[in-house]
Amino acid sequence: MDMAVAVSSPRVFTEHGVAMLSSVLRSETAVRVNIVIVRTFVKLRKLLATPGELVTQIQELAKTVQLHDHQIKAISDVLQRMLTPPPAPAKPIGFHTIPPKKEHNMLSPLNDYFTLESRRQFFASAGFGLGTAALATLTDGIAKADGSKTGEGAALPLTHFPAKCKNIIYLHMVGGPSQLDLFDPKPKMDAMYDKDLPESIRNGQRLTTMTSGQARFPVAPSKYKFAQYGKSGQWLSEMLPWKAKMADDLCIVRSMHTEAINHEPAITFMQTGNQNTGKPCLGSWMSYGLGSLNKNLPTFVVMVAVPSNQEQVQAISARLWQSGYLPGEHAGCSFRAKGDPILFINNPPGVSSNVRRTTLDGLKKLNELNYAAVGDPETHTRIQQYEMAYRMQTSVPDLVDLKKEDTKVLESYGPDVAKPGTFANTALMARKLVEKGVRFVQVYHNNWDHHGNLAGRMPDQCKDVDQPCHALIQDLKRTGLFDSTLVVWGGEFGRTIYSQGGLSKTNYGRDHHPRCFSIWMAGGGIQGGVTYGETDDFSYNITKDPVAVRDFHATVLHLLGLDHEKFAYRYQGLDQKLTGVEKANVIKKLLA
């Protein structure tokens, strides 16, 4: 039966609804039901003349497929609640409908969905369908399904298949670390010192304005020594002694490539899957799809670490952690580097918690009146954010208090761990946030844009992050979070083999290079001790197993139990996806 017909003709739906549900109940998945049917029941509840008769038919139907009594009762109870006549219809404004003026839980995901869904969205989705979901997700687990249970406020009741991880810590090195000096050794380049890069290698590649005017492109071999570490024999630079200790935990991808050659679009591309701003970032997608594991903390937190060397810091902005066209509550919550993590987290002098609660209750009522008059979803977001801010007044101070941390744990992160804003401090905070149930923690560390003086700056950068990264991995293992937490480390692109500006055997600079760069991942369903992908002798072109940004995103979503081809949000008439419209592949060789 066409669902568009069912929506347009409630009599036809009433007549055939039970038959449709019957065929689904008899399917291989036992009690799997099309979510469009369930939603249509809800939307048409006030149009059904005899909801009680329909419930009776459902009960009889359930008996024919040999469901247990408690399952029959649960199904009946849910359908009865769904078919209960609603309050008087609200006055429509635009495509949205004003909610009835009654007390209700504004944070309920079901209320959010039906309140904020527009009439056009409903009819479109009813016509085309949104796939299937287990009826058990609406009835407190009546039936078993293959996916993992999601959190509070999630758009999906279950993941598409079992998730291998439930949290992500993404460590983004702003500027683009040099793969040649860290993860991708090229010993043959020693013999090419100061010789021109062959045109057959560059092959007309687009250059930045910073090197396009150079008379020549002299090869600059890395001055740093590489060695193999761990049972897996991972190749690592001498600047990463702490990484060497956990080589068998790392999955190093040498064949990442991107379409962007400048920082802003390249970082945006890595975070959102699109070079243009205005799209949801990975953390927002995770928050939207999987929901919260702790109602007292944001689902998505961002921290910007302060580098010890600030010779060439790149500008970054909140556009990188915005929610785009997703509801505003899924944007990242930025924790400040110094002072209180959140502004005004503490009550002003003379203002008690009771006074603050009374104030927020008054604001909530005003916002609800405004929402009833205008129907702006951002007003709904504001209500939720005020409530979250109030709860964070008690959860955040405890979070940033390091006095309860074991001394040996603190020492493992290095001497800067107690200094707010350092990478060591943010790495420890990332573990604490994940331990408290925060889904996605984004950390930015700046000054990796080594156009010049690489030898003077790279050691400071590695010193900032190397030991804290090792401590983070060990800390996740200690707390039992390593297997369920994916850690990602990388930048927005790589660096060129040729030198930018002056060249000597002890110092040089490198320009942006989008054709190949390296990242590493660990934990959360990733196979450790693996090096994936290969580049040519110049680390200029990929020769084996290329990984596009969309492939990286598809793989991360897969680890979260999400099918990148199905995980979408309808906006401007399109099913928008993190991986975009081009073919994306899950890199299964990276999976444990």
Task: Give Cα separations from 130 to 122, 133, 140, 512, 590 (angstroms).
Answer: 11, 9, 21, 42, 30
Residues 194 and 336 in one domain: yes
For the chain, the residue count is: 592
Q: Which has the higher per-residue pLDDT, 166 or 5?
A: 166
Q: Is residue 231 part of a domain?
A: yes
CATH number at residue 250: 3.40.720
Q: Is residue 357 part of a domain?
A: no
In the predicted model, what is the mean pLDDT of residues 522-541? Answer: 97
Which tokens go with 59? 């009960």
CB 171 within 8 A of CB 431: no
Write the burial class of residue 118 (CB in 10 Å: 0-12 exposed, 13-18 middle, 19+ buried): middle
DSSP 8-state symbol, 442: E
Query: Given this model, what pLDDT does residue 403 score?
Result: 87
Beta-carbon contacts of residue 205 (< 8 Å; ≥ 6 apart): 515
DSSP 8-state symbol, 334: E
Residues 127 and 172 in one domain: no
Cα distance between residue 400 and residue 426, in whole Å: 10
Q: Is residue 156 part of a domain?
A: no
SS3 state at 474: helix
Query: Given this model, what pLDDT does residue 418 score?
Result: 93
CB 245 within 8 A of CB 470: yes
Q: Is residue 358 part of a domain?
A: no
In the predicted model, what is the mean pLDDT of residues 138-151? Answer: 62
Task: Give Cα separations from 438 to 44, 49, 557 (angstroms).
Answer: 37, 45, 17
Q: Is residue 154 part of a domain?
A: no
Which tokens go with 390? 């109030």
Query: Given this model, what pLDDT does residue 95 score?
Result: 37
Residues 131 and 186 in one domain: no
Q: Is the dihedral of CA 363, 365, 366, 371 positive or negative?
A: positive
Q: What is the largest CA-CA distance in the chain?
A: 86
Q: How many structural domains does the chain have?
A: 2
Nearest to 412 by CA among 399, 433, 428: 428
In the predicted model, what is the mean pLDDT of residues 315-321? Answer: 89
In the predicted model, what is the mean pLDDT of residues 127-134? Answer: 37
Residues 415 and 302 in one domain: yes
Residues 134 and 269 in one domain: no
Residue with tokens 């950068």: 461
SS3 state at 584: coil
Residue 33 has pLDDT above 80, yes or no: no
In the predicted model, what is the mean pLDDT of residues 3-22? Answer: 37
Q: Is residue 174 part of a domain?
A: yes
Per the structure, the complete domain to which residue 183 belongs is given by: 167-348+388-590
pLDDT digits (tens, 9 = 90+) for 402-411: 888 999 999 9
Cα distance between residue 97 and residue 118, in whole Å: 8
Task: Give Cα separations from 448 to 109, 174, 177, 282, 521 (angstroms).
Answer: 41, 6, 5, 22, 19
Residues 272 and 182 in one domain: yes
pLDDT digits (tens, 9 = 90+) for 149-192: 999 989 999 999 999 999 999 999 999 999 999 999 999 999 99
Mean of per-residue pLDDT scores for the chain: 81
pLDDT digits (tens, 9 = 90+) for 461-519: 999 999 999 999 999 999 999 999 999 999 999 999 999 988 999 999 999 999 999 99
Q: Which of 138, 154, 184 is the endpoint of a domain?
A: 138
Full-model pTM: 0.75
Residue 451 has pLDDT above 80, yes or no: yes
Residues 75 and 174 in one domain: no
Cα distance between residue 162 and residue 528, in whole Å: 20
Residue 223 has pLDDT above 80, yes or no: yes
Residue 81 has pLDDT above 70, yes or no: no
